[in-house]
Amino acid sequence: MSNGIAGKVVVITGASSGLGEATARHLAALGARVVLGARRGDRLQALVEDIRQAGGEAVHAVTDVTSKAQVQALVAAGREAFGRIDVIVNNAGLMAIAPLQQLRSDEWDRMIDINIKGVLYGIAAVLPLFEQQGGGHVINISSVAGLKVYAPGGTVYSGTKFAVRAISEGLRQEMAGKVRVTSIEPGAVQSELPLGSGDAASRAEVEAFYQQQAIPADAVAQAIAYAIGQPAAVAINEVVLRPTVQDF
């Protein structure tokens, strides 16, 4: 019996580490054909080789999600390799924690560009295709910081993750019956995310919190697989998962 995942073509942004990498490995092991994007091409290349050696199917394209053209090219590379796109996981993200009073406006810009515009560019790259194909699935990675403002420090990051939830819900309403939409809202998960701030004190605080509480990235990969694996008539719209010990 089909697992609802085998054979599906899944584009994953931010696949060079953390949740994106774990999701690529997990879905490929379940038979998905994965299309991997991020800026670090060497990491993507090594991941594609690993997946192929394990018997899976994968391709990659170096992609900066702040470039609409590069996100379009990633989706085009997937179509060229596998003929269609079934799912996009808009996962690439940056968490630059610091109090607003430090006025780190370059980091605000980068978070807005990667976490919000990057998601929109991913949606733009697949929507016309999904219309043509008569279906598709958009999975956006928000956060528990998209449910509750984490301040001081996480104000702008939370703002971007609230936006991801809002965009997911708007897309769901607009495309009901045509496109499945899922927003995933994880708590602390092991990855390179805590390293994202240029403020050493904030970074040390976040790293200490993650060392105590973070759960393996595979937990998110399994939630994504659950959403993809449902029958076509069933849309898992939101998944919130945290370390059991996390109160935030």
Catalytic sites, residue numbers = 157
- For residue 40, state whether it binds ligand NDP (rule: CB under 6 A): yes
Look up residue 105 and give its amino acid. S
CB within 8 Å of 62: residues ≥ 6 apart: 37, 38, 39, 40, 41, 44, 70
Q: CB of residue 98 vs ligand NDP: minimum separation in angstroms? A: 15
Report 116-155 residues binding ligand NDP (CB under 6 A): 141, 143
- For residue 57, state whether it binds ligand NDP (rule: CB under 6 A): no
- For residue 95, state whether it binds ligand NDP (rule: CB under 6 A): yes
Strand partners, 89: 12, 139
- For residue 212, state whether it binds ligand NDP (rule: CB under 6 A): no
Of 65 and 123, nearer to ligand NDP (C-beta) is 65
> Could you give the angle at which helices 18-29 and 41-53 cross, rounded to 10 degrees?
20
11-32: string of b/e by CB count within 10 Å (b at 16+)? bbbbbbbbbbbbbbbbbbebbb
Find the part of the chain contacting ligand NDP (CB under 6 A) among 81-89, 101-109, 165-173, 190-198: 190-198
Helix ranges (DSSP H) in 58-186 = 68-82, 105-111, 118-133, 155-174
For ligand NDP, the binding residue among 158, 182, 183, 191 (CB under 6 A) is: 191
Which long-range CB contacts under 8 A does 105-114 form with residues at least 24 apart?
Answer: 107/156, 107/197, 107/198, 108/156, 111/156, 111/157, 111/160, 112/156, 112/160, 113/66, 114/65, 114/66
CB within 8 Å of 24: residues ≥ 6 apart: 12, 15, 34, 36, 47, 51, 58
CA atoms within 13 A on the CB side of 202: 22
- For residue 34, state whether it binds ligand NDP (rule: CB under 6 A): no
Q: CB of residue 70 vs ligand NDP: minimum separation in angstroms? A: 8
Q: CB of residue 26 vs ligand NDP: minimum separation in angstroms? A: 13
For ligand NDP, the binding residue among 63, 158, 168, 197 (CB under 6 A) is: 63
Of 87 and 193, nearer to ligand NDP (C-beta) is 193
Find the part of the chain contacting ligand NDP (CB under 6 A) among 18-26, 129-137, 166-174, 228-236: 18-26
- For residue 183, state whether it binds ligand NDP (rule: CB under 6 A): no
- For residue 74, state whether it binds ligand NDP (rule: CB under 6 A): no
Contact status, residue 74 vs residue 65, Cβ threshold 8 Å = no
- For residue 192, state whether it binds ligand NDP (rule: CB under 6 A): yes
- For residue 91, state whether it binds ligand NDP (rule: CB under 6 A): yes
Number of residues that bind ligand NDP (CB under 6 A): 29
What residues make contact with ligand NDP under the rule CB under 6 A? 13-20, 38-40, 63-66, 91-95, 114, 141, 143, 186, 188-189, 191-193
